[in-house]
Structure 1
Amino acid sequence: MRDPGSQVAYWDTVGAAKTFTHPVDFTWLSGVSRDVRVLDYGCGYGRVMAELSDRGFSDLSGVDPSPALIARGRRSRPDLRFAVLESPPAPACAPASFDLVILFAVLTCVPDDAAQRSLVAELIRVLAPGGLLYVSDMVLQDDRRSRDRYAAHARRSGTPYGVFATDDGAVCRHHDIADLRALLSDLDLVDERRIDVVTMNGNRSRAVQMLARKQ
């Protein structure tokens, strides 16, 4: 059964044409063998996979719950390996199947606490001991519009502060950095950096990238 947190209907329609922009910090991956097994979870149309491939990474797999985004990826990069995530959050992979897992702008699309914990638990399951989880996601914004949207959605829906609805119909979440660290607390945090990104709707926002290692 599809996880309602995956919002497949949105990503198969409006979201299928979005452009994603979170940058890959290749200095974090400079010591990683180009032969490692890589999973891009929530790969969308494969932008990050394409960048990794162009930098020499050779064993790349991408999964996403949206058939439309997967189809877009297969059209643009037929050389890459894409699969529809049929039963989110669980990828159809054995434990310890990957050495590097990419999770870019995915948690923002899964606003529910329990759904986020289940997703991260699945990624830890498929990550080999010593493997890396590379997360890039949105933090709480401090502008008035964002604060008003967070508060209004929390009052209306009882969701955590930071959840809001976009004008075109997605429900997204911006995170307190402490919540993200807690979410990854079963891993060892290797590095963390704050960045600015352009969102899928063209707004400049603050984000964080975190690199964590499985013991």
Structure 2
Amino acid sequence: MKDLGSQIAYWDSVGVTKTFTHPVNLSWLSAVSSTARILDYGCGYGRVMGELSEHGYSEVFGVDLSPALIERGRQSRPDLRFAVLESPPAIACAHASFDVVMLFAVLTCVPDDDAQRALAAELSRVLVPGGLLYVSDLLLQDDTRNQHRYSAHAQRFGTPYGVFTTGDGAVCRHHHVAHLRNVFAGFDLLDETRLEVATMNGHRSQAVQLLGRRR
């Protein structure tokens, strides 16, 4: 699970059919210039990119490890710029290439602690000092179904509590909010909000959004 690319087969098959739903709070970007360089890391088929473009942001770039999801994005939004991540978490961009990074429902697909921290470090590298990081991800759920699968997966595989396998084969992770704050401890936390979202398999789940600034 340390390899961010280990689930490409899932995302290129079952995953390419999914719909992603985490909402974008545009008020968090109200001070961001329409020409700011924005990276959507783990962009999937470009849903967030499309929303940003439709609200006037002209320099939006998306990367994802799944060639199939990227191709879906290129077919549906040929006006947007996409690229496949060849060696995740590394991005083929120079230091301080972006003013804003969006990270929507990505850590839930990266179950390993070290891999999450490596991703946070790479995002810090490509952000300008003072740049914004906007994270949206899923929290630990308190219902019986989720608690059972967290415990079962931890007992079987020795994974952190919150990791589980979906019915269609994806290995995912839900997080305690303190863990997410720790992963991004190198950023100054500007805002945080709780919300409910639909998961890619149609369940209602509790989520959190964090807005951070690179030091």
Establish whether TM, by shorter chain, passes 0.5. Answer: yes
TM-score (normalised: structure 1): 0.98
Deviations 1:98-128 (A, max 9, x none): 0000000000000000110001100000000
> Aligned residue pairs: how many?
214
Q: CA RMSD in A?
A: 1.0
After superposition, give the CA deviation of every residue in 1:188-210 in whole Å (9 maximum; x if it has no partner). 00000000000000000000000
Local SS of the residue matching 2:142: coil
Q: Distance in 2 between matches of 1:5 and 1:155?
A: 24
Could you tell me whether the CA contact under 8 Å between 2:5 and 2:65 is conserved in 1?
Answer: no
Aligned equivalents of 1:206, 1:195: Cα separation in 2: 6
Match of 2:129 in 1: 129
Q: Alignment partner of 2:38: what SS? A: strand
**What residue number does 1:36 align with?**
36
DSSP 3-state at the match of 1:136: strand
Three-state SS of the structure 2 residue aligned to 1:38 is strand
Distance 1:158 1:6 in 2: 18
State the secondary structure of the residue aligned to 1:28.
helix
Provide the residue aligned with 1:163 in structure 2.
Answer: 163
Where 1:117 maps in the other structure, the secondary structure is helix
Q: Indicate the residue corresponding to 1:14 in structure 2.
A: 14
Conserved? CA contact 1:128–1:214, under 8 Å: yes
Amino acid at match of 1:151: S
User: How far 1:4 sits from its partner (Å)?
Assistant: 4.6
TM-score normalised by the chain length of structure 2: 0.98
Structure 1 residue ranges (4+ consecutive) displaced by more than 6 angstroms after TM superposition: none
User: Structure 1 residue 31: deviation in Å?
Assistant: 1.2
Corresponding residue of 1:193: 193
Question: Structure 2: which amino acid aligns with 1:43?
Answer: C
> Does the residue aligned with 1:151 lie in a helix, a strand or coil?
helix
CA distance in 1, matches of 2:182, 2:78: 37
- The equivalent of 2:203 in structure 1 is 203
Return 5+ residue gaps in structure 2 as ranges: none
Distance (whole Å) between structure 1 residues aligned to residue 5 and residue 152 of structure 2: 20
**Matched-pair contact (CA < 8 Å) for 1:5–1:110:** no
Give the distance between the partners of 2:90 and 2:4, measured in 1 at CA: 13
Counterpart CA distance in 2 for 1:5 and 1:197 is 25
